[in-house]
Amino acid sequence: MSQTDFTRPECQKATGFEGCAPLISLKGITKRFGKVVANNDISLDLYPGRIKALLGENGAGKSTLMSMLAGRFRPDEGYIEVDGKRVDFSNSKDAIKAGVGMVYQHFMLVDTMTVAQNVLLGQEGGFFVNPKEMEERVRKLAEDYELEIDPSAKVSTLSMGEKQRVEILKLLYRESRVLIFDEPTAVLTPREAFRLFEALWAMTRQGKSVVFISHKLEEVMAIADEVAILRRGNIDAEVSRDKITSKADLACRMVGKEVILEVDKEDVEIGDKVLEVKDMTGIGLRDINLEVRKGEVVAIVGVAGNGQQELVEGVCGMRKPPKDKIFIMGKPWRKFFAEMTWNNSMSYIPEDRLDLATARNLDLVDNLLLSTRQGFSAGPLLQHDKAAKVAEELVEEYDVRPGRIRALAWQLSGGNLQKMVLARELYRQPHLIVAEQPTQGLDISATEEVWNRLLEARKMAGVLLVTGDLGEALQLADRVAVMYCGQIMDEFSVNDKEKVDSIGLLMAGVRE
């Protein structure tokens, strides 16, 4: 489990569907939102027993395309054929009837209802329903597809992987023949991801067609039969998996230019301690000892939910840690936050870009001011013009698109918003940067840019990087700390080959 390695066992191959006609064909689909062309004249065939990966950068139009297939939007031009017959989906019910089902990135589940109620919602088959009988039906279906789940459990008590299984059961119950997965592994642990792939293979063996939207190259390499690459609303290439020689080859096809997934890391002089956590127990953490010095990147890795969030919130002042356990730039936590200044201090780059890092309905200038307000004040007055000028410069320097400072935060794609957040936080000249999943959901070029910016920032700051992406941690960090159940299992240099190889075990709580 050290690196995500998913290879498809021979027995998992779906056979007997060669030469079948496509289940679904998209014919010349075009969709516009205002002036933006989200999809331009796209044609695509989906065959039974095959997994089609839809690969593309953020904002390439993958989700829009699949939403049309799932009946959420209607195409402006073009049409969809099911079994060779033209259909017109006016809502998701039509799509479900035609056998198209979608597992959304954000689960469409009702938290307060049980698994069985969620699976059967809208499909109860009669006005009166019987909870026991519903649970029995769902239990049987889950057994058929070897999906482990308790049908009587409330959805709010389930893990992400289990919730996803509920979504899959919903589709299977509706006898969907085409199942669309929108970045399904983003929320899963590697183990859960592998179980998902097994389920996908099981589905293809039964003749279902699977569409897998992702930008995780290794996953696409592992499970796809065909790869369709979407770029700026166009199908750029459609290739069989056999024709793809390597991950680099695929990456290259995806972004249209050679991408170096490895970044150059020049040595930076190590300076003073900017963060120190001493024997901290509390706020869900145990015996945490941690040190970050100026000029280094310390990565916290681990399966999500093992205390990383508590640690970040403790350090960043969102949660009160026990007294005299956390020291930031030499000052005790309370003193530091009491005296905190807007610059030469601490920057936090949260995982939740749209609701924590920015205010979604404010423009880029106001979003810049969120954490730099004191820098643009003259007495009680706010120097809005000055802020606008700085915003303009930052947008230019970081190439934030669209290049308008009056664009609202929610209008930016994930990558561009992250660039703006990074621009703002680095503008504050911090000495300590806490970056939480800084490249989650970003495409390769944006990831590369964020990585380079963070490495660059080491010249002025120490970086505490919390990430679920081991590759990212190994690329950027000088030292890695593995968290499990609120504890730091081990901490070591990235050059310690032996320790690095044991990260998978440490993440699972196994100590040699």
Partner 1 sequence: MLESFIVPLLAATVQSGTPILYATLGEILTEKGGVLNLGVEGMMSMAAFAAFFVTMTTGNPWFGFIAGGIAGVFMAALHGLVCITCLGNQVVSGLALTILGVGLCNFLGTPYIGTATEGFDKFSFPVLSAIPYIGDIFFRQDALVYVSYLIPVLFMFFINRTSLGLAITAVGEKPAAAAAVGLKAVRLRWIALLGGGFLIGLGGSYLSLAYTHLWANGLSGGRGWIAVALVIFAFWRPGRAVFGAYLFGGVMAFQLRLQAVGTHIPSSLLLMLPYSLTILVLIFSAMRGRSGNAPAHLGINIEPEG
List residues near partner 1 by CB under 8 A. Answer: 72-73, 91-93, 96, 102, 104, 108-113, 117-118, 121-124, 126-131, 170
Q: Give least dist CB 396 to partner 1, A.
A: 33
In the complex with partner 1, the residue whose CB is nearer, 127 or 379, is 127
In the complex with partner 1, the residue whose CB is nearer, 121 or 354, is 121
Q: Give least dist CB 184 to partner 1, A.
A: 15
In the complex with partner 1, the residue whose CB is nearer, 118 or 413, is 118
Helices 160-173 and 190-205 sit at what angle, rounded to 10 degrees? 10
In the complex with partner 1, the residue whose CB is nearer, 6 or 73, is 73
* CA distance linking residue 238 with residue 54, whole number of Å: 9
Q: Give least dist CB 124 to partner 1, A.
A: 4
In the complex with partner 1, the residue whose CB is nearer, 37 or 340, is 37
Burial bucket for residue 267 (CB in 10 Å: 0-12, 13-18, 19+):
exposed
In the complex with partner 1, the residue whose CB is nearer, 9 or 126, is 126
In the complex with partner 1, the residue whose CB is nearer, 124 or 276, is 124
CB 298 within 8 A of CB 462: yes
Give 485's DSSP letter: T
Q: Give least dist CB 141 to partner 1, A.
A: 15
Q: Give least dist CB 200 to partner 1, A.
A: 20
In the complex with partner 1, the residue whose CB is nearer, 128 or 511, is 128
In the complex with partner 1, the residue whose CB is nearer, 17 or 73, is 73
Closest CA to 344 of 221, 431, 267, 414: 431
Q: Give least dist CB 393 to partner 1, A.
A: 35
Please report, for residues 158, 291, 322, 325, 509, the alpha-carbon distance to residue 278 in angstroms, rounded to integers and kept in the order given.
34, 9, 10, 5, 22
Q: Give least dist CB 91 to partner 1, A.
A: 7
Q: Where are the alpha helices (DSSP H) in 227-321?
A: 247-255, 308-316
- Tokens matching residue 88: 């017109």
- Long-range CB pairs of 95-100 (<8 Å, 24+ gap) are 95/69, 95/70, 95/71, 96/71, 96/174, 96/176, 99/23, 99/175, 99/176, 99/177, 99/178, 100/24, 100/69, 100/70, 100/71, 100/176, 100/177, 100/178, 100/180
Q: Give least dist CB 119 to partner 1, A.
A: 10
DSSP string, 100-119: EEEE-SS----TTSBHHHHH
378 Ramachandran zone, left/alpha/beta (phi>0; psi -120 to 50)? beta
Which contiguous run of DSSP H or E holds residue 45?
strand 36-46
Q: Give least dist CB 66 to partner 1, A.
A: 13
Give 90's DSSP letter: S
